[in-house]
Amino acid sequence: MFEIAVVACLLFVVLLAGSVWIGLSLFATGYLMLSIFKPNIPMDIFGSGVIWGAMIPTPLLSLPLFILMSEVLVSAGLGRSLFSGLAPWVGRLPGGLLHVNVVGSTLFAAVSGSSAATTAIVGNVSLPELKARGYDRNLAMGSLAGAGTLGFLIPPSIIMIIYGVVAEQSILELFIAGVIPGLTLAAFYMIYIAVHQTVTGTQPHVERPTRAELLGGLRDIGPIALLIGTIMGALYLGFASVSELAALGVLGAVLISVAMGRFSLRAMISAGRRAVRTSAMIGLIVIGAALLNSAFGFLGIPKAIAGQIAAFGLSPMALIVVLLVFYAVLGMFLDGTSIIVMTLPITLPLITAAGFDPIWFGIFVVVAVEISQITPPIGFNLFVIQSQTGESIGVIARAALPFFGILLGFAILLAIFPDLALWLPRTLQ
């Protein structure tokens, strides 16, 4: 079975190298593996049943809605409002306006759910402003690359929705479990920025903000903070399901757009088209991965690999370290959605057998996928920043290296102290 798995991986890599879409590559790999090794399985029954099963989970309805909410806020110029609103409040801290990358990404992550979108929206405004004000270019790019990954960890998170559907876990619990780790990771980023700027003494001078500037900042970020508070409050108090929260978020995003005077039919149509395009891409990946995982199931690959790993007799912590390396390597070639839907049939049984909580593992996997976002050569956040700065991937990857290290250390910390993720869900229950 191990040889079949190797053949499947090689075939998938060849298809990706041929510029075939990820979803179609997953579908084709599964189909060809069954055609070659299990030709007696009726392909029409296999295909239609798996596709239907992958698309009917109710929580998936929230996915396009959260994406639409994010796109509506992008059309409303959220990035500039975040920078102008946060600058007076963080400018005098050690690290100065570099903290806008972290705090802005944290806030946008709470209404986005996407790492790449968070990096793009915050970076479009912050990078030119930080460059014009004389801040360390490498630290600006690195902090943006690291903070942008918070789009996966702080709810509502697209990756958490995918994990919850595939692993059959409560998405509400996953959302709640991601709050403390997300805020903790953001705090680590800010501490590093403050220490770096204090030690190097490279922080430009920032004038003390006036009371009018502070109040103006609150006015700029107030609508976003209100939307976040409404969604989080409904989430924690159990007033709405995930899909209802997503619909509430879309309504709130439209109202914010109107309140800011940036609502237009053309902008809404454009936001809707972008949301449809992104949702269709993710849907194709989910379907393709479901077909591939079903093919692997028919071939007995997950059971064989799990048995081989179990035979090594790894301790629970050693297993976590191996999986962390495994996900980091996969992240060099695949996006987060593909990684999760492809690997869970193999990794989740291993984790539960080792005594780990599936909700905790969801947060751990999200952190591992965050690491992949800034891992060359296919780290998506690196490409987003490259498109904004024109720098090479190598330069941006070196700038992001300290934040890569922070993420690795945080993943180990999460394994040592699982209550970082589990305390809040247990308390609210």
Model confidence pLDDT, tens digit, residues 191-218: 999 999 888 877 777 777 877 888 888 8
Percent above pLDDT 90 for the chain: 15
**Does the structure show a pLDDT above 80 at 290?**
no
Is the CB of residue 41 less than 8 Å from the CB of residue 298? Answer: yes
DSSP one-letter code for 59: G
Paired tokens of 17:
């190298």
pLDDT for position 67: 82
Contact yes or no for 87/78 (Cβ under 8 A): no
pLDDT reading at 240 higher than 80: no
* Between residues 205 and 230, the one the model is more confident about: 230
- The answer to whether 333 and 13 have CB atoms below 8 angstroms apart is yes
Give yes or no for residue 322 having a pLDDT over 90.
no
**pLDDT band for position 422 (cuts 50, 70, 90):** very high
* pLDDT > 70? residue 71: yes
Q: Which two tokens stand for residue 85?
A: 């609103």
The model's confidence at residue 358, banded by pLDDT at 50, 70 and 90, is: very high
Alpha-carbon distance of 22 to 283, in angstroms, equals 11
* In 5-103, beta strands by DSSP E: none
Residue among 176, 131, 167 at smallest CA distance from 388: 131
Q: What is the pTM of this model?
A: 0.84
Buried b (16+ CB within 10 A) or exposed e, 41-69: eeeeebbeebbeebeebebbebbbbbbbb
Return contacts of 333-336, CB within 8 angstroms, 24+ apart: 333/13, 333/16, 333/378, 334/22, 334/372, 334/378, 335/22, 335/285, 335/378, 335/380, 336/115, 336/152, 336/159, 336/369, 336/372, 336/373
* CA–CA separation, 237 and 252 (whole Å): 18
Tens digit of each residue's pLDDT (9 = 90 or more) over 118-149 = 888 888 888 888 888 888 889 999 999 999 88
Please say if the pLDDT value at position 41 is more than 70.
no
> Which of 101, 111, 177 lies closest to 138, judged by CA?
101
| Per-residue buried b or exposed e for 339-364, using 16+ beta carbons within 10 Å of the residue's own CB | bbbbbbbbbbebbeebebbbbbbbbb
Distance CA 26, CA 32 (A): 10
Asked whether residue 258 carries a pLDDT value surpassing 60, the answer given is yes
Cβ-contact 126, 83 below 8 angstroms: yes
The pLDDT of residue 59: 66
In angstroms, the CA 1 to CA 33 distance is 12
To which residue do tokens 């991601």 refer? 178
Q: What is the dihedral of CA 234, 237, 238, 241, to 10 degrees?
A: 10
User: What whole-number distance in Å separates Cα of residue 303 and Cα of residue 377?
Assistant: 31
Of the candidates 329, 401, 323, the residue with the CA atom closest to the CA atom of residue 372: 329
Residue 223: CB atoms within 10 A of its CB come to 21
H-assigned helices in 113-178: 115-132, 137-148, 150-153, 158-167, 171-177
Report the pLDDT value the prediction gives residue 52, as an integer from 0 to 100.
64
